[in-house]
Amino acid sequence: MTDMSGMGGGTAAGDRTLCRCGADLTILEASWGCTDCGGDCCPECAFWLESTVYCPGCTDRLLAA
């Protein structure tokens, strides 16, 4: 899977941060970047289409086309 290290927002192993979708992420998890818009998305809100990561908004737009 993807390297999940390097998330900002703290330095201790127990530190937590929130994704823009509201998912609670530990410092060891990193947000992913949407291939289409470049926006951040986490494992909770990201969609994999044809081996590519998309945020919810871009996924909706791509599937509606």
Where is pLDDT greater, at 29 or 1? 29
- What per-residue confidence (pLDDT) applies to 10? 40
Report CA torsion sign: 10, 15, 2, 24.
negative
Residue range 42-54: mean pLDDT, rounded: 88
- What per-residue confidence (pLDDT) applies to 28? 64
Distance CA(1)–CA(62), nearest Å, equals 23
How deeply is 38 buried, as exposed, middle or buried, from its count of CB atoms within 10 A (0-12, 13-18, 19+)? exposed
Give the predicted TM-score (pTM) of the model: 0.60
Assign 61 to helix, strand or coil.
helix
